């Protein structure tokens, strides 16, 4: 129906109006210019009518593709309304297959190709997201830490999942670093943490955020539980203090085994027991250099 309305609007109506105009022109010429004047006017009007008709034909040819598309859309719409998509917006239940082999496709008229544009759009969206992340990372690489940057530490106890957050002045050794350089420094710290951190139960770390205003570093610990007794052990010729569980290192010392009395050396080789913290510190104060 829409096709015929469009065809009437572009073809039939203009033709009728031009015909009426032509007849009106002939009648007027007969009234005002009888005789030969009528013939000349009729010829002139006919020539104008021919010119206008050629213009109309040109317009019709230019719009023929649009009219055909409109007709195809109208026909497809009729098919979908009658068979493919029901009035409540659900899809028809017709199916067709190859001998019931399971390779059938739904009779709703859609095929895998119909979703190609959507898939391409989704891929384009992912590409745009990836480009945005690359730009953000490039921007962070251009940022450098300065003396006003906040150094935020999130110290997490992995045993009870508690977190303590503290904000410090940025250590001088990190000033001037960009994101990549700071991450390398953190990797180096994690690979070789200070002895004091190991004694606290340091496990690993993670850089949560980086900007010139603030860096956030998560430090994970398995904090050493308090102990009432200890053991002195030798490792690499130095005395090491263990908790009473005999698995957890409480402290590394700078005391060489060979600098201790001979009997004490034998005791430490066999895991020397220290009954309390006071006895431990008496030992450290006596033999530490």
Say yes or no to pLDDT of 46 above 90: no
Lowest mean pLDDT among 85-89, 139-143, 153-157, 283-287: 85-89
Residues 21 and 33: their CA atoms lie apart, in Å, by: 17
Which of the residue ranges 29-33, 48-52, 89-93, 225-229 would you say has the lowest mean pLDDT? 89-93
Report pTM.
0.37
pLDDT of residue 100: 41
**Spatial separation of the C-alpha atoms in residues 140 and 181, rounded to whole Å:** 11
Q: What is the DSSP string of 103-134?
A: --EETTS--GGGGHHHHHHHHHHHHHHHHHHH
Instruction: Quote the pLDDT of residue 207.
Output: 96
What is d(CA 189, CA 184) in angstroms, rounded to the nearest whole number? 9
Contacts of 284 (CB under 8 A, 6+ apart): 253, 255
Most confident of 4-13, 104-113, 142-151, 247-256: 142-151
Q: What is the mean pLDDT of the chain?
A: 74
Residue with tokens 């003396």: 147
| Share above pLDDT 90 across residues of the chain, in percent, rounded to a whole number | 37
6 vs 55, higher pLDDT:
55
Judge whether residue 99 has pLDDT over 70: no
- Higher model confidence: residue 133 or residue 25? 25
Task: Give the pLDDT confidence score for residue 204 in this predicted structure.
Answer: 95
Q: Average of pLDDT values for 26-44?
A: 59
Q: Rounded to 5 degrees, what are φ and ψ at 140?
A: -70, -30
- Reported as a single tens digit per residue, the pLDDT across 159-182 is 888 899 999 999 999 999 999 999
């Amino acid at each position: 129906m829409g096709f015929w309305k469009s065809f009437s609007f572009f073809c039939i109506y203009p033709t009728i109006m031009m015909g009426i105009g032509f007849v009106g022109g002939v009648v007027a010429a007969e009234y005002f210019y009888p005789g030969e004047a009528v013939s000349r006017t009729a010829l002139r009007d006919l020539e104008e009518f021919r010119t206008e008709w050629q213009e109309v034909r040109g317009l019709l040819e230019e719009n023929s593709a649009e009219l055909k598309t409109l007709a195809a859309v109208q026909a497809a719409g009729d098919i979908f309304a009658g068979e493919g998509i029901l009035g409540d917006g659900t899809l028809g239940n017709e199916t067709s297959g190859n001998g019931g082999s399971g390779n059938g496709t739904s009779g709703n008229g859609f095929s895998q190709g119909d979703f190609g544009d959507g898939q391409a759009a989704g891929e384009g969206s992912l590409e745009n997201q990836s480009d945005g992340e690359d730009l953000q990372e490039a921007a962070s690489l251009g940022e450098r830490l300065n003396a006003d940057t906040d150094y935020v530490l999130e110290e997490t106890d992995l045993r009870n999942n508690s977190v303590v957050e503290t904000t410090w002045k940025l250590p001088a050794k990190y000033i001037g670093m960009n994101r990549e350089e700071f991450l390398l420094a953190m990797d180096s710290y994690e690979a070789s943490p200070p002895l004091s951190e190991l004694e606290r139960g340091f496990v690993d770390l993670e850089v949560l955020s980086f900007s010139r205003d603030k860096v956030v570093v998560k430090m994970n610990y398995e904090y050493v539980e308090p102990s009432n007794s200890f053991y002195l052990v030798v490792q690499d010729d130095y005395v090491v203090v263990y908790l009473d569980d005999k698995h957890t290192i409480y402290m590394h010392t700078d005391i060489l085994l060979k600098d201790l009395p001979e009997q004490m050396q034998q005791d430490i080789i066999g895991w020397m027991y220290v009954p309390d913290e006071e006895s431990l510190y008496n030992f450290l104060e006596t033999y530490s250099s």
